[in-house]
């Protein structure tokens, strides 16, 4: 049962981000992907992640927020959370209930895909800039919009969704482009067996007794709490797991500490403020470059000099 918390005129004025949906199971890869989508192999030595899209800078887990983080170019990975609707549709949402971030109340799992069309996010007043209300996207929509253009990180809040998430990722050829995150090593092991990139996050309390070297055969990314003790962070860094990134970093001091202790990634709600990028490419420049690359490929395919 979903109960209305606030009735506003925003529902009629809400702007839903236009999506270009493609049948990835049958269609060829987009031209700008070249021979395939962008994968984790393209990540820099120090990686910045926009946590929930950068929740201190944009509306969390929203299509507009993810697009803003992508266009700003201050993060190389976009993070978002996933929940499962009543009919099994995976959607982009953090909480079990609608209350905190939308104009409705009730359990997310109480809705089906048709009812989800009526949900509208409630942007926080403290966010910089001006944001319109919009529908939270489905996981398929986010994969279709960003998959292959930037590395993605999704948290499977409901372990039952893992098979469906795996099917969506595989159908789009994104198994090397999307990290699947959980706090449960058993879920990480299942994700690995499904051929996915696995991410395991741990709290500072859990890290006190963790033996992360036990997970290195099936965990691709260890996501550690920046509040952990130095010794626990160093143990994670030396575990043999290829990537150790710290969450959720909010200050320069926190960032500098985890990098000095050996972490190679920063998961932050404020990527625009924390990311150290010597030369940021604007989204306009990036799109112009992609158009030029596409035109060159088309010219080459026609037998002309690009």
What is the tens place of the pLDDT at every residue in 195-242? Answer: 999 999 999 999 999 999 999 999 999 999 999 999 999 999 999 999
| Residue 36 pLDDT | 74
Question: Would the pLDDT of 267 be above 50?
Answer: yes
Instruction: Quote the CA–CA distance of 112 and 93 in Å, as a whole number.
Output: 14
pLDDT band for 16, please (50, 70, 90 cuts): very low
For residue 132, count other CB atoms closer than 10 A to its CB: 16
| Phi, psi values for residue 10, rounded to 5° | -65, -30
Q: If 0-12 CB within 10 Å is exposed, 13-18 middle and 19+ buried, where does residue 236 land?
A: buried
Question: Would the pLDDT of 20 be above 90?
Answer: no
- Out of 15-24, 59-68, 130-139, 216-225, which region has the weakest mean confidence (pLDDT)? 15-24
Task: Convert the pLDDT of each residue in 58-114 to its tens digit.
Answer: 999 999 999 999 999 999 999 999 999 999 999 999 999 999 999 999 999 999 999
Question: Would the pLDDT of 254 be above 70?
Answer: yes
Greater confidence, 28 or 123? 123
Q: What is the mean pLDDT of residues 271-297?
A: 63
- The pTM of the full predicted model, rounded to 2 decimals, is 0.82
Name the H helices within the chain: 10-13, 63-72, 113-116, 139-146, 162-171, 185-193, 204-207, 230-237, 252-260, 271-274, 283-301
| Residue 207 pLDDT | 98
Q: For residues 238-257, b (16+ Cβ closer than 10 Å) or e, as one string?
A: ebebebbbbbbbeeeebbeb
| Residue 306 pLDDT | 40
Under a CB-based contact definition with an 8 Å cutoff, are residues 258 and 204 in contact? no
Question: Would the pLDDT of 31 be above 70?
Answer: no
Instruction: Quote the CA–CA distance of 304 and 143 in Å, as a whole number.
Output: 34
Instruction: Give the chain's mean pLDDT.
Output: 87
């Amino acid at each position: 049962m979903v109960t209305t918390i606030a009735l506003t005129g925003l529902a009629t004025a809400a702007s839903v981000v236009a999506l270009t949906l493609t049948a990835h199971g049958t269609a060829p890869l987009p031209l700008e992907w070249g021979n395939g989508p962008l994968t984790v192999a393209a990540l820099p030595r120090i990686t910045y992640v926009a946590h929930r899209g950068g929740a201190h800078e944009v509306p969390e887990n929203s299509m507009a927020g993810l697009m803003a983080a992508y266009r700003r170019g201050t993060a190389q990975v976009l993070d978002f959370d996933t929940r499962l609707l009543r009919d099994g549709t995976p959607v982009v949402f953090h909480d079990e209930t609608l209350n905190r971030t939308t104009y409705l109340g009730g359990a997310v799992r109480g809705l089906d895909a048709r009812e989800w069309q009526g949900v509208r996010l409630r942007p926080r007043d403290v966010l910089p800039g001006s944001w319109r209300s919009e529908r939270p996207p489905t996981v398929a929509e986010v994969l279709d919009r960003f998959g292959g253009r930037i590395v993605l990180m999704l948290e499977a809040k409901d372990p039952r969704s893992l098979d469906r998430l795996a099917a969506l990722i595989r159908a789009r050829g994104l198994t090397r482009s999307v990290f699947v995150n959980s706090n449960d090593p058993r879920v990480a092991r299942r994700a690995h067996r499904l051929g996915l990139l696995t991410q395991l996050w741990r709290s500072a309390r859990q890290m006190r007794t963790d033996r992360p070297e036990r997970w290195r055969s099936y965990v691709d990314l260890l996501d550690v709490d920046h509040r952990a003790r130095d010794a626990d962070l160093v143990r994670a860094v030396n575990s043999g797991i290829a990537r150790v990134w710290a969450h959720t970093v909010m200050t320069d001091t926190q960032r500098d500490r985890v990098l000095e202790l050996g972490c190679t990634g920063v998961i932050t709600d404020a990527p625009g403020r924390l990311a150290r990028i010597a030369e940021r490419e604007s989204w306009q420049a990036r799109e112009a470059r992609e158009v030029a690359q596409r035109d060159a490929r088309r010219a080459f395919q026609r037998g002309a000099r690009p």
